[in-house]
């Protein structure tokens, strides 16, 4: 990079939540050998993938198994899944809870179309199929869980960072279960750039 030259804009597709990982990665990208000025763009997962493929975004962040064609998928991190329960739930206040100890009739999940990769990753760790059909978005799911003493859902731990609710508590799983996070780029993105993005978002 030439001295005095402005940092290149880097368009990053994200979900509408700020995490410590994201904050740390943005600092790493700004301070890297080839500094970039990140621009965060909030888009649903499917739109994020399409925007990377079409060149509207330089990269996107996605949790869960990504099988989209015409993009490069690079695993960058792993984070624990936590159960989220109402404060009146029997697991509230416990140091950890097993999935076998949670009543499958109380499980609520957002509709798959809200985040297909994460939805599929959560289904993959469940010991039994959900009894209730998925419906609505995450906000509606959390609202329903908060008013049901037997309700619960699973969420990546970092998605809850900084969130506070008078109705809800998060409980780690025992044994621990994780979901992978991926950096998605176009097929034309140079390998050295993909590696730098992965390094920025890695643990």
DSSP label at 88?
A: T
Q: What is the pLDDT along the chain (203 residues), one digit of tens a residue?
A: 444 456 689 999 998 776 889 999 999 999 887 788 999 999 999 999 999 999 999 999 999 988 878 999 999 999 999 999 999 999 998 999 999 999 999 999 999 998 999 999 999 999 988 898 887 888 899 999 999 999 999 999 988 765 567 889 999 999 999 999 999 999 999 999 999 999 999 98
Strands 71-86 and 8-14: unpaired
Length of the chain: 203
Neighbours of 79 (CB within 10 A): 18
DSSP string for 142-171: HHHHHT-TT-EEEEEGGGGTT---SSEEEE
Alpha carbon of 122 to those of 19, 96, 99: distances in Å?
Answer: 20, 18, 12
Domains of the chain: 8-77+181-201 (3.40.190.10), 79-178 (3.40.190.10)
Q: Is residue 109 a contact partner of residue 122, using CB atoms and an 8 Å limit?
A: yes
């Amino acid at each position: 990079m030439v001295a005095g030259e402005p940092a290149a804009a880097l368009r990053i597709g994200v979900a509408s939540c700020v995490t410590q990982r994201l904050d740390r990665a943005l600092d790493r990208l700004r301070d890297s050998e080839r500094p970039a000025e990140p621009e965060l763009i909030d888009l649903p997962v499917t739109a994020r993938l399409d925007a990377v493929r079409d060149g509207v975004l330089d990269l996107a962040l996605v949790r869960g198994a990504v099988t989209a064609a015409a993009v490069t998928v690079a695993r960058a991190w792993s984070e624990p899944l936590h159960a989220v329960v109402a404060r009146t739930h029997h697991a509230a206040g416990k140091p950890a809870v097993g999935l076998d100890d949670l009543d499958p009739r109380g499980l609520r999940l957002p509709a798959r179309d809200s985040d297909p990769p994460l939805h599929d990753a959560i289904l993959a760790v469940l010991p039994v199929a959900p009894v209730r059909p998925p419906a609505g978005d995450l906000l509606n799911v959390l609202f329903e869980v908060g008013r049901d003493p037997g309700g619960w859902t699973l969420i990546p731990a970092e998605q809850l960072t900084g969130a506070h609710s008078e109705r809800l508590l998060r409980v780690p799983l025992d044994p621990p279960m994780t979901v992978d996070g991926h950096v998605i780029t176009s097929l034309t993105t140079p390998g050295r750039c993909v590696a730098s993005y992965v390094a920025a978002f890695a643990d």
